[in-house]
Structure 1
Amino acid sequence: MNVKGQAAVVTGAASGLGRATATALAAAGAKVTLLDLNADKLAAVAEEIGGLAAACDVTDAASVKEAIAKGREAHGPARIAVNCAGVVHGARIVGKEGAMDLGAFSRVIQINLIGTFNVMSQAAADMLALDPLEDGERGVIVNTTSVAAFEGQFGQAAYSASKGGVASLTLPAAREFAPKGVRVMCIAPGIFETPMFGGLPQDVLDALLAKTLYPKRLGKPEEYAELVLSICGNRMLNGTVIRLDGAIRLEPR
Structure 2
Amino acid sequence: MDITGSSAIVTGGASGIGAAVVRQLAAKGAKVIVADLQEDKGAALAAEVGGEFARVDVTDTAQIQAAVERAVALAPLKVLVNSAGIGWAQRTIGRDGDFDSAHDLGAFSKVIAINLIGTFDALRLAATAMSRNEPDADGQRGVVVNMASVAAFDGQIGQASYSASKGGVVGMTLPVARDLSAAGIRVNTIAPGLIDTPIYGEGEASEAFKAKLGESVLFPKRLGRSEELASMVVEVATNSYMNGEVIRVDGGIRMPPK
TM-score with structure 1 setting the length:
0.95
Q: Does 1:211 align with 2:211?
A: no
Amino acid at match of 1:50: G
Counterpart of 2:237?
A: 232
Counterpart of 1:124?
A: 127
Alpha-carbon contact 1:2-1:232 (below 8 Å) kept = no
Alpha-carbon contact 1:89-1:158 (below 8 Å) kept = yes
TM-aligned CA deviation for residue 206 of structure 1: 4.6
Counterpart of 1:173?
A: 176
Counterpart of 1:91?
A: 90
Counterpart of 1:153?
A: 156
Distance 2:201 2:155 in 1: 19
Distance 1:154 1:197 in 2: 19
Alpha-carbon contact 1:143-1:166 (below 8 Å) kept = yes
Amino acid at match of 1:48: E
Distance 2:137 2:33 in 1: 24
Amino acid at match of 2:68: I
TM-aligned CA deviation for residue 105 of structure 1: 1.1
TM-aligned CA deviation for residue 120 of structure 1: 0.6
Distance 1:196 1:235 in 2: 33
Distance 1:204 1:149 in 2: 23
Amino acid at match of 1:31: K
Q: How does 1:17-36 map to 2 (within 5 A)?
A: 17-36=17-36
TM-score with structure 2 setting the length:
0.93
TM-aligned CA deviation for residue 197 of structure 1: 4.1
3-state SS of 2:155 partner: coil
Q: Does 1:143 align with 2:142?
A: no
Alpha-carbon contact 1:93-1:157 (below 8 Å) kept = yes
Distance 2:2 2:128 in 1: 21
- Classify 1:27/1:89 alpha carbon distance in 2 versus 1 (closer, same or farther; 3 Å): same
- Classify 1:164/1:203 alpha carbon distance in 2 versus 1 (closer, same or farther; 3 Å): farther
Q: How does 1:101-112 map to 2 (within 5 A)?
A: 101-112=104-115
Distance 2:59 2:164 in 1: 17
Alpha-carbon contact 2:36-2:42 (below 8 Å) kept = yes
Q: How many residues are aligned here?
A: 252
Q: Does 1:49 align with 2:10?
A: no
Amino acid at match of 1:84: S
Distance 1:34 1:126 in 2: 17
Distance 1:160 1:183 in 2: 24
Alpha-carbon contact 2:5-2:75 (below 8 Å) kept = no
Distance 2:243 2:209 in 1: 35
Counterpart of 1:242?
A: 247
Alpha-carbon contact 2:34-2:54 (below 8 Å) kept = yes
3-state SS of 2:128 partner: helix
TM-aligned CA deviation for residue 95 of structure 1: 2.5
Distance 1:177 1:252 in 2: 36
Q: Deviations over 1:132-157 (max 9, x none)?
A: 01211111100000000001001111
> Which consecutive residues of structure 1, in runs of 5 or more, have no partner in the other structure?
none
Once superposed, what is the RMSD of the aligned Cα atoms? 1.7
Alpha-carbon contact 2:9-2:34 (below 8 Å) kept = yes
TM-aligned CA deviation for residue 208 of structure 1: 3.5
Alpha-carbon contact 1:10-1:84 (below 8 Å) kept = yes
TM-aligned CA deviation for residue 203 of structure 1: 6.9
